[in-house]
Amino acid sequence: MRQRTVTMSASRKRSLVKTLTWRIIATTDTFILTLLATTWFSEDLGLESTEAFALAGTVAGLEVVTKMVLYYLHERGWSSLDWGQDEEILSENSE
């Protein structure tokens, strides 16, 4: 019996879309956490509420670029590995 198989792997476009959608989620999380932390500790930090909002925006803005690049490289590294990838049988020939 002869089988033909194809290993499924992620395309670069898929990796990029996953990177962008993940960054939206992660950056929103970073913004909210930074805003909450700076608001709760604003007196200890000597910040007004508008300054806390500006700091949260700065942190979220800076981490977008660095973490998006790191995630994309991480995703491409994983997509180059066969580990954890399923194979699909496209056709089966009997001899």
Domain map (residue ranges) of the chain: 2-93
| Nearest-angstrom CA–CA distance, 22 and 31 | 14
Which pLDDT value is given to residue 43?
Answer: 84
pLDDT tens-digit series, residues 59-89 = 888 888 888 888 888 888 887 877 666 666 6
| C-alpha torsion sign, points 42, 45, 47, 51 | negative
Query: Is 60 exceeded by the pLDDT of residue 20?
Result: yes
| Nearest-angstrom CA–CA distance, 51 and 57 | 10
Which pLDDT value is given to residue 17?
Answer: 85
Residue 38 confidence class, pLDDT cut points 50, 70, 90:
confident
Query: Is 70 exceeded by the pLDDT of residue 54?
Result: yes
Tell me the Ramachandran region of residue 34: left when phi exceeds 0, alpha when psi lies from -120 to 50, beta otherwise.
Answer: alpha
Q: What rounded mean pLDDT belongs to the chain?
A: 80
Which pLDDT value is given to residue 32?
Answer: 92
pTM of the model: 0.59
